[in-house]
């Protein structure tokens, strides 16, 4: 039914009702309070009058049909087939505690200043959506509410570690607060839960007086004691001498907690942060080409400084027969932004060179003196500049993709870590034999620094390679191939690496058999103490010490134990012998899902895989993986007190995890799409600004 016909039918129904017709008539109240119908009126009464016809012209009646139900006049939604009315609607009650919690979550999750709750915009919003809202929120109350939420979340999270059985891998890093000149030590725990999902929680963000090894070790031990964590698998830290000393002291302290506190007595505890090593290599290369990078950076600034210059550049790009691409300035503290800027600028090299020949203002721009330095502006980029940067971008591309890979803080980061490092090493070897002498020189310089830390995978923590073996698509076949590519087929180095990884895996596996067997015995003893047979205990205790007493059930338990050990001893062998898994093209492969399905087939090996796949290749947060200037707190957070700073940072990460809203690291495609969008906004702003300054006539010409 159309809205017009619906409207007419509603009016027709209304006309029938207001005429007073019908068999029952219309009830009226007499002077003595009695009700009677129109048919009972006496001759002395006034004749009935027709009420004025009222047409409902409101647009709302286009969506409802008037009906009579149990002598009641109702409106039925035109999209509903039910003629009955809904009397179950109840008003929503205002929950002050829920409101405070929601405000605290909003402030923490979005990194808002606490004073936001006193802003006029927030107050107007609350008054509009909550009619009974009382304007009693203040900065001080918001701070108290956030601290209360932090303590509540912390108490809930502590229950995960209350049994002391959970083994975690840790990352440790240092952040700087420029406002207060305070240093903070952040400790983050990673583990794979019973559902085979990788979990991440920030445990501590506390100030430290210095960055010495003793201080780092002491704070790390205090953090674990506070949370009740007694078992650690690995600790990922930056490559510094103080961290080396800190982990030595930490290892000694953990040994006092028991034999199972560390795996293999902490032999593989120390994990070097791959992002830190890569950043050291990249930083040196960028500094070597700093003048060329500055020249391109200034050229991009010139193009983006006005709408006229941008249009002139686009004209050069069109006549220069090159495709248009987004141009964006980089952040000098993030080498990934420098890489993206150079990559985009190189695509428009012809346009820049054409503009240098045709645009006089472009050349004069580089003759000006910069206010910041008082020196002549670096540039313009010439042919030699572009050649140097083209070589640099080729190297940065290798490190860029690898850094993105191991900075995801996901399970595939650990299983792909060996692949990323091997890719860097292999590409540097190939470039060291390049025909271009400059490329050879730069590749050898990078590889020397690379060898300093990893030495062709010989100095790498074996767990990095073991993690790749626990990827069912790779197993030992992939690692063996990498060894042969780097050191030659059947070489002593390749054979040594293959043999050593097999030995490490066997030793780890045997230790896990022992640990799990001991754990099962302890659990059985605990259950027996709670539900055991007291009568049997008395009989056994009454036996003389020298009496020989053989029980068939004990022999049977020994036989089962031996069978379990024999079966468990074959898990590693069976896993490595079985064919590797094949991945369908165009589909993602979840390593943890595979182990979740196969954990019944590999009860011991799956527990080892659970801990190995939780190790972290980087101690940096994903957003800091490309940062070359250290981890720096923003001015707002660095101005807070240390306790409030910890409450905000920890609560934010905990809430993001509970809401599953932790922002993923953007892909290369997403980065370029964002640059295109920002460029379109920039063009719009430039057009509007020019229109306001010069008028519509100038733009049309």
Residue-wise pLDDT tens digits, 51-108: 555 555 666 666 666 665 555 555 555 655 555 555 565 666 778 888 899 999 999 9
Q: How far apart are the C-alpha atoms of 167 and 497, rounded to whole Å? A: 28
Label residues 44-78 b or e (16+ Cβ within 10 Å = b).
eeeeeeeeeeeeeeeeebeebbbeeeeeeeeebee
Backbone angles phi, psi at 416, to 5 degrees: -100, 0
Give me the residue label for tokens 């290599």: 281
pLDDT tens figures, 618-653: 887 766 666 666 678 877 788 889 999 999 999 999
Q: Are residues 321 and 286 in the same domain?
A: yes
How do strand 231-237 and strand 167-177 relate by DSSP bridges? parallel
DSSP secondary-structure letter at 660? T
Residues spanned by the domain of 230: 163-272
Q: What angle do CA 230, 236, 238 make, to 5 degrees?
A: 140
Q: Which is higher by pLDDT, 699 or 568?
A: 568
Q: How far apart are the C-alpha atoms of 218 and 223, rounded to whole Å? A: 9
Is residue 337 in some structural domain? yes
Across 462-472, average pLDDT: 94
Q: Are residues 231 and 301 in the same domain?
A: no
Please tell me whether the peptide bond between 380 and the residue prior to it is cis, using omega within 30 degrees of 0: yes
pLDDT at 413 over 80: no
Instruction: List Cα–Cα distances, 101 to 140, 153, 221, in angstroms.
Output: 15, 12, 32
Mean pLDDT for the chain overall: 79
Return the CATH number at 263. 3.30.420
pLDDT tens figures, 414-439: 888 888 888 888 899 889 888 888 89
The share of the chain scoring above pLDDT 70, in percent, equals: 70
pLDDT at 241 over 50: yes
Last residue of a domain, one of 492, 509, 543: 492
pLDDT tens figures, 493-529: 889 999 999 999 999 999 999 888 887 776 666 655 5
Instruction: List Cα–Cα distances, 593 to 87, 186, 216, 558, in angstroms.
Output: 48, 30, 36, 35
Instruction: Note whether 405 and 468 are within 8 A (CB).
Output: no
Beta-carbon contacts of 272 under 8 Å, excluding residues fewer than 6 positions away, are 236, 237, 239, 453, 461
**pLDDT score recorded for residue 700:** 40
Burial tier of 269 (Cβ tally within 10 Å: 0-12, 13-18, 19+):
buried
Q: Are residues 382 and 470 in the same domain?
A: yes
Is residue 594 in some structural domain? no
Beta-carbon contacts of 115 under 8 Å, excluding residues fewer than 6 positions away, are 139
Q: What is the dihedral of CA 325, 331, 335, 340, to 10 degrees?
A: -10
Instruction: Note whether 187 and 235 are within 8 A (CB).
Output: no
pLDDT at 612 over 60: yes
**pLDDT score recorded for residue 414:** 82
Q: Are residues 132 and 169 in the same domain?
A: no
Q: Are residues 432 and 293 in the same domain?
A: yes
Q: Which is higher by pLDDT, 161 or 535?
A: 161
Across 577-605, average pLDDT: 86
Ranges 134-148, 366-380, 598-612, 678-692: which has the least confidence: 678-692
**Top-ranked range on mean pLDDT: pick from 62-66, 234-238, 334-338:** 234-238
**pLDDT score recorded for residue 227:** 95
Instruction: Note whether 452 and 277 are within 8 A (CB).
Output: no
Q: Are residues 358 and 402 in the same domain?
A: yes
Q: Are residues 65 and 1 in the same domain?
A: yes
Q: How many CA atoms lie within 13 A of 688 on its CB side?
A: 6
pLDDT at 695 over 60: no
**pLDDT score recorded for residue 698:** 38
CB atoms under 10 Å from CB of 162, counted, come to 10
Last residue of a domain, one of 442, 463, 492: 492
| Number of structural domains in the chain | 4
**pLDDT score recorded for residue 151:** 96
Is residue 575 in some structural domain? no
**pLDDT score recorded for residue 31:** 42
pLDDT at 345 over 70: yes
**pLDDT score recorded for residue 416:** 86
**pLDDT score recorded for residue 696:** 44
Instruction: Note whether 659 and 281 are within 8 A (CB).
Output: no
Q: How many CA atoms lie within 13 A of 459 on its CB side?
A: 9
Q: Are residues 388 and 452 in the same domain?
A: yes
Q: Are residues 259 and 383 in the same domain?
A: no
**Top-ranked range on mean pLDDT: pick from 9-18, 407-416, 487-496, 623-632:** 487-496
Is residue 624 in some structural domain? no
Is residue 209 in some structural domain? yes
Q: Are residues 416 and 332 in the same domain?
A: yes
Q: How far apart are the C-alpha atoms of 350 and 72, rounded to whole Å? A: 80
Is residue 570 in some structural domain? no
Beta-carbon contacts of 513 under 8 Å, excluding residues fewer than 6 positions away, are 565, 568, 569, 604
Instruction: Note whether 581 and 472 are within 8 A (CB).
Output: yes
Could you give the 3-state DSSP secondary structure of residue 26?
coil
- 3 state SS for 550-610: CCHHHHHHHHHHHHHHHHHCCHHHHHHHCCCCCCCCCCCCCHHHHHHHHCCCCHHHHHHHH
Across 335-363, average pLDDT: 90
Instruction: Note whether 631 and 176 are within 8 A (CB).
Output: yes
Could you give the 3-state DSSP secondary structure of residue 656?
helix
Listed residue (189, 181, 190, 240) closest to 216, CA to CA: 240
**pLDDT score recorded for residue 131:** 76
Q: Are residues 325 and 457 in the same domain?
A: yes
**Top-ranked range on mean pLDDT: pick from 226-240, 476-490, 612-626:** 226-240
Label residues 491-509 b or e (16+ Cβ within 10 Å = b).
eebbeebbeebbebbeebb
Q: How far apart are the C-alpha atoms of 409 and 616, rounded to whole Å? A: 7
Is residue 35 in some structural domain? no
Name the token pair of 530.
């709670």
Instruction: Note whether 407 and 622 are within 8 A (CB).
Output: yes
Q: How far apart are the C-alpha atoms of 303 and 311, rounded to whole Å? A: 9
The beta-strand segments (E) located in 99-159 are none
At 408, the pLDDT band (50, 70, 90 cuts) reads: low
Name the token pair of 678.
């920002």
pTM recorded for the entire structure: 0.75
Is residue 326 in some structural domain? yes
Q: Are residues 266 and 142 in the same domain?
A: no
Last residue of a domain, one of 438, 461, 492: 492
């Amino acid at each position: 039914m159309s809205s017009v016909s619906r409207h007419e039918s509603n009016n027709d129904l209304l006309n029938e009702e207001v005429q007073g017709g019908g068999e029952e008539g219309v009830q009226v109240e007499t002077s003595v309070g009695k009700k009677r119908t129109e048919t009972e009126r006496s001759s002395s009464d006034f004749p009935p009058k027709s009420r004025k016809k009222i047409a409902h012209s409101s647009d709302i009646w286009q969506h409802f049909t008037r009906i009579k139900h149990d002598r009641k006049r109702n409106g039925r939604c035109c999209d509903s087939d039910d003629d009955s009315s809904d009397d179950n609607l109840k008003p929503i009650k205002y929950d002050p505690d829920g409101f405070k919690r929601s405000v605290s979550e909003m402030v923490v999750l979005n990194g808002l200043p606490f004073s936001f709750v006193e802003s006029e915009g927030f107050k107007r919003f609350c008054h509009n959506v909550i009619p009974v809202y009382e304007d009693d929120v203040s900065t001080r109350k918001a701070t108290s509410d956030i601290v209360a939420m932090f303590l509540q979340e912390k108490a809930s999270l502590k229950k995960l570690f209350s049994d002391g059985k959970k083994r975690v891998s840790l990352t440790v890093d240092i952040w700087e607060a420029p406002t207060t000149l305070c240093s903070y030590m952040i400790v983050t725990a990673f583990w794979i839960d019973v559902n085979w999902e990788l979990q991440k929680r920030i445990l501590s963000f506390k100030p430290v007086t210095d960055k010495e090894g003793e201080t780092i070790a002491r704070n790390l031990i205090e953090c674990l004691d506070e949370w009740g964590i007694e078992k650690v698998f690995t600790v990922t830290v930056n490559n510094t001498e103080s961290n080396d000393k800190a982990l030595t002291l930490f290892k000694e302290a953990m040994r006092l907690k028991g034999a199972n506190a560390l795996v293999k007595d902490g032999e593989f505890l120390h994990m070097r942060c791959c992002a830190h090593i890569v950043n050291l290599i990249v930083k040196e290369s960028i500094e070597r080409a700093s003048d060329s990078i500055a020249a391109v950076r200034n050229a991009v600034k010139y193009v983006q400084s006005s709408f006229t210059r941008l249009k002139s550049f686009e004209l050069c790009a069109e006549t220069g027969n090159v495709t248009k691409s987004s141009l964006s300035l980089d952040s000098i503290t993030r080498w990934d932004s420098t890489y993206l800027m150079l990559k985009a600028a190189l695509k428009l090299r012809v346009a820049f060179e054409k503009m240098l020949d045709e645009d006089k203002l472009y050349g004069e721009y580089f003759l000006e003196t910069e206010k910041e330095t008082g020196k002549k502006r670096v540039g313009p980029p010439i042919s030699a500049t572009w050649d140097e940067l083209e070589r640099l971008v080729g190297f940065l591309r290798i490190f860029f993709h690898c850094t993105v890979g191991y900075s995801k803080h996901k399970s595939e980061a650990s299983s792909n870590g060996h692949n990323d490092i091997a890719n860097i090493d292999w590409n540097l070897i190939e470039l060291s034999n390049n025909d271009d002498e400059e490329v050879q020189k730069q590749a050898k310089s990078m590889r020397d620094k690379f060898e300093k830390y990893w030495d062709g995978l010989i100095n790498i923590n074996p767990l990095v390679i073991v993690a790749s073996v626990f990827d069912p698509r790779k197993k030992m076949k992939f690692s063996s191939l990498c060894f042969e590519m780097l050191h030659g087929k059947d070489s002593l180095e390749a054979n040594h690496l293959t043999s050593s990884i097999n030995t490490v895996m066997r030793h780890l596996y045997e230790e896990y058999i022992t640990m799990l067997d001991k754990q099962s015995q302890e659990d059985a003893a605990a259950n027996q103490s709670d539900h055991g047979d007291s009568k049997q205990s008395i009989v056994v205790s009454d036996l003389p010490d020298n009496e020989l007493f053989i029980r068939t059930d004990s022999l049977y338990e020994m036989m089962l134990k031996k069978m379990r050990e024999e079966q468990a001893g074959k898990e590693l062998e069976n896993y490595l012998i079985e064919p590797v898994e094949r991945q369908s093209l165009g589909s993602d492969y979840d390593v943890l899902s595979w182990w979740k399905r196969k954990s019944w087939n590999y009860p011991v090996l799956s527990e080892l895989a659970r801990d190995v796949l939780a190790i972290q290749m980087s101690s940096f947060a994903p957003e800091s993986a490309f940062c070359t200037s250290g981890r720096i707190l923003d001015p707002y957070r660095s101005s807070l007190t240390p306790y409030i700073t910890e409450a905000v940072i920890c609560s934010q990460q905990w809430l993001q995890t509970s809401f599953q809203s932790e922002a993923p690291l953007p892909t290369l495609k997403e980065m370029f799409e964002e640059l295109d969008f920002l460029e379109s906004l920039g063009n719009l702003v430039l057009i509007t600004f020019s229109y306001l300054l010069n008028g519509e006539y100038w733009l049309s010409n």
